[in-house]
Structure 1
Amino acid sequence: MKEAAGIPGAQFASCASVLEPAVELNADEEAALSHIEAPADTSAAESAVLAGAPDDGQVEPQSQEEGTSDDTAPSAAPADEPADEPGDAAAAARPRPWKEPKWCIDAGVDSTWYIERLRGCGVWRSAVDAIDVRTGRKVGGIKYLVVGYSFSARDSKRWAYQVRLLETKRWGRAVNGTKASGSASCVGKCKVASKSFPAQTISKSAEPYGQFFMDTTINTGASKQRGTGRSVASWTFTNPQWVGPSQPTKLATVDVRCDNALPGAPRQVGCVTLQAVPVISYSLTGPWPEVAKHIKDAQATGIPGKYGTTNYLTRLTDRRKIDENRNKACPSSLPRPPGKSCDEYAFASTWQGAKHGDGNFSRRMINARQNTDAGKALKGFYTYSRVLEGDRFLVWIR
């Protein structure tokens, strides 16, 4: 502000607020979110976006060293630049905003990331104000919501990140003609593969958005590699009446882990949201009811893995130790009735199994076909959710 006051002819400066909680939405904010068309299932659209992502080096390429962050704000648009129109060539050339998950718009409004294994989303509140440099008083402002949306794939080295700015209210002077533009960085084992957040007008009918793609930088030439990265979006506001752009506002995602350490797929690289604990579900009325009933009863005794708790199971991948778990719970000497096989819980493929856990385990003779098929489902769950050695997970009995 002091610097602006010393510029001849300067009248207005800007001040951007930090992101704030948006737990209880007001009517203006609810109206802004109601304009978003949010699908119930985004998986197919997300796969298509990642499959069609720009090659490395396209759309303002940028690389980041591990542990660094790009704090450089994008250059301000010229003061005489015309306002973006929906039909102009630049807007037409950009991909449309990606549709956030429905649960994000319904519930993700408390300034935190709601996360699943392959995606995360959340809603924040912020503002930018115009300041009279002579008096230091606010003379106008724009309040807006920030919708952050990130998604990855179990079989891709790349993940995507979008921020969308939704104006909820404006007041006073020196705010008409305000535009937002931005950039991105990546902290950790990752780099920015491409980024697109050009200057766009913000208004009730115009929602600026930035789209970014990040690549892991783990050494995929070596085996069993893993590393985490965090995307950081940064944006500023400009206005022809202001002496310069606002200071940057930033929003970082939660950590994304990429690896090539999945048993059975040593060359495949995939990325997941690290903090999201995956859940496998078995139904008491599904195709494997005897397996589900056994797990439910075992969990009732305090054996780990029950959905809704933090008493997790952790995956074990050492084949010798898995066999030791299984042989202790279900030794070959144990008689099997016709059509039955021995089912153990906690699973032999966990560190809570009969041999390598605390000694608290359950076994039961159940339908052999159900036991085999449920075991295949567990293996598929490990693969789809990229559950690596030592990863936590839970079991939900419905």
Structure 2
Amino acid sequence: MRRLALLLAAAAAFALLPTQAVATDLGAIQRTQQVPPLPPTSPVSPNTPMSKPTPLQDSCPKLLESFKQRAPSSTEIVTCVRSEAPSTPVAKEAARQAIQGVGVQEAAPPAWCTEAAHMDGNWWFTRFDACRSWTATALVYEGAAYLGLIQSAVFEYVYTGGGTTGVAAYKAQISILPNLITPGVPPVVLSKELECTGACTRVDGGASTKPVVLMQPAQSEGGIITSPGIGSVAATEGKHVFNYVGAGTIYTEDLWSLFPVVRCDNALQGITGPGCVFYEYKPTLAYSYSRAFDFGVAMHVGWSLWSGLPGGAGSSTYLHRTGDADLNTKNRNRACPSNTPQNTYPRPEGYSCDEYPFASTLEGAWTASPPKDPPTPWPARTFDWCQLNWANTQVLDALSPLPGPAGFSRCNIPAQENTNGGQTLNNFYRDHRINAGDAFQVGVYA
């Protein structure tokens, strides 16, 4: 199936050539070094939000258990809260209204936060933004007698502002919209607060209260800052804590919502200054077949992924940055050794050798080769359009058996496009704060 997709893509690519007719037999399609066939594009869009399963909470069992230890008097208002996924049309519509309320604060959440698929009670996040839509149901008691409930749509938005802000901080917004209050529930007040654990300090977002009124949202925004020293990393966990308090209340159980872990660092290779990311998110480096700037790199990466090498967007494999200049050099020298007086490793005029996986990753030609200097080096591959005919290098075309994930690829491509592709990679490392050991994937798109 992958070969058929590759050949169909090849037919589309050669349709652009005035002298190239699409062959009736796909296997007979001719290729040229100047315009090789395009491999399939990556199946997953770059930087699609990922989900972090978020356990639902329920503070009510603890409250009811407390009744056994000390029965409240008949005049005391007692509350507890449980979290649920928005499951009914009414709950989902209330969640959307809660999201709209957040938009009037300092920063509006990204559009994907409002998509139904991302309103399931779990955290959804990218490298810089995290959203959660859920339902909070507060049970209200007078003494031990149940009075009714308050149901609210809750929307949370946490964001870092990007990986190159120069500030080790992030912000958190919350909007709580009561959309159902059953008859018999006495007036209560919503109390909420932003908290954090780890090497962090809260800025704004302190304890605040607001009377609970049907369809009137309670909103707030606060910040969390850290101070990682040069070369250090700080991981923090923030959370929103809230409860409902009625007149005469002496006991209530809090409910809290823990954010995805935010990593702030001042240790990014080649960059001076801190920044913060949701480090559990593994971003995607995107190349494009329609971008002349680094087209040769896009072609080589696309063919490399098609041949089975790791790190493709949507796959179960990843690349990991080394963060070590010496390892990068060893990877590069093994994949693309310098030419010799005997012209052992020739490059055409104006071309240079490109390698995949990238030399700056642990999957590179030397670091991924067990052991580090084996008698038989990690197998090398290239492609029939790469103008590379070196010893110990398997040459593949669209009909070749796929070698799979073991090994590396090398290919001669226009030198300027090779340089530009490296710039694209370095910009990606910077913008997404890819530190040593961080995982990422690579996609090639139309």
| TM-score category of the 2 structures, normalised to the smaller one | 0.7 to 0.9
Determine whether 1:238 maps to 2:245. Answer: yes
Alignment of 1:114-193 (within 5 A): 114-133=124-143, 136-153=144-161, 154=163, 155-175=166-186, 177-193=187-203
Q: Secondary structure at the match of 1:297?
A: helix
Q: In 2 relative to 1, CA 37–236 (structure 1 residues): closer, same or farther, beyond 3 Å?
A: closer
Name the structure 2 match of 1:277: 282
CA distance in 1, matches of 2:201, 2:129: 19
Q: Which residue, 82, 93, 98 being the options, matches 1:31? A: 93
Query: Counterpart of 1:292?
Result: 298
Alignment CA distance shift 1:96-1:118 (3 Å):
closer
1:111-159 Cα offsets, whole Å, 9 max, x none, are: 22111111111112221122232xx342221111221211114221111
1:174 Cα shift? 2.1
Q: Tell me which residue corresponds to 2:110.
A: 101
Contact 2:130–2:159 under 8 Å retained in 1: yes
Q: Does 1:369 align with 2:416?
A: yes
Aligned-partner SS, 2:413: strand
Identity rate, percent: 26
Does the CA contact (< 8 Å) of 2:147 and 2:184 recur in 1? Answer: yes
- Equivalent of 1:224, from 227, 231, 246? 231
Deviation at 1:330, TM superposition (A): 1.0
SS where residue 182 of structure 2 aligns? strand
**1:69: which partner in 2?**
none
Contact 2:98 / 2:176 at 8 angstroms: preserved in 1? no
Q: Deviations over 1:41-90 (max 9, x none)?
A: x9xx9xxxxxxxxxxxxxxxxxxxxxxxxxxxxxxxxxxxxxxxxxxxxx
The match for 1:257 among 237, 259, 263 is 263
> TM-score w.r.t. structure 2 length?
0.69
Distance in 2, matches of 1:371 and 1:392, equals: 23
AA partner of residue 171 (structure 2): A
For 1:277 and 1:35, locate their aligned partners in 2 and report how far apart those are by CA, in whole Å.
30
Q: How far, CA to CA, are the matches of 2:255 and 2:435 in structure 1?
A: 35
Asked if the contact 1:304/1:346 (under 8 Å) is kept, the reply is: yes
CA gap 1:151/1:180 in 2 versus in 1, 3 angstroms = same
Q: CA separation in 1, counterparts of 2:408 and 2:137?
A: 55
Number of residue equivalences:
333
Amino acid at match of 1:21: A
RMSD of aligned Cα (Å) = 2.4
The one-letter code of the counterpart of 2:109 is E
1:245 shift after superposition: 5.9
Distance 2:96 2:318 in 1: 37
**Distance in 2 of aligned mates of 1:273 and 1:190:** 15
- Alignment deviations for residues 165-208 of structure 1 (CA, whole Å, 9 cap, x no partner): 12232212124x33212222211222223324521233343111
Separation (CA, whole Å) in 1 of partners of 2:157 and 2:96: 17
| 2: CA distance, partners of 1:209 / 1:363 | 55
SS at match of 2:436: coil
In structure 2, runs of 5+ residues without a counterpart are 1-65, 340-344, 370-377, 379-406
**Residue in 1 that maps onto 2:331:** 325
Structure 1 unmatched runs, 5+: 46-94
Measured against aligned partners, the alpha-carbon deviations of 1:277-308 in whole angstroms (never above 9, x if no partner) come to 12110112223333212112111222111111
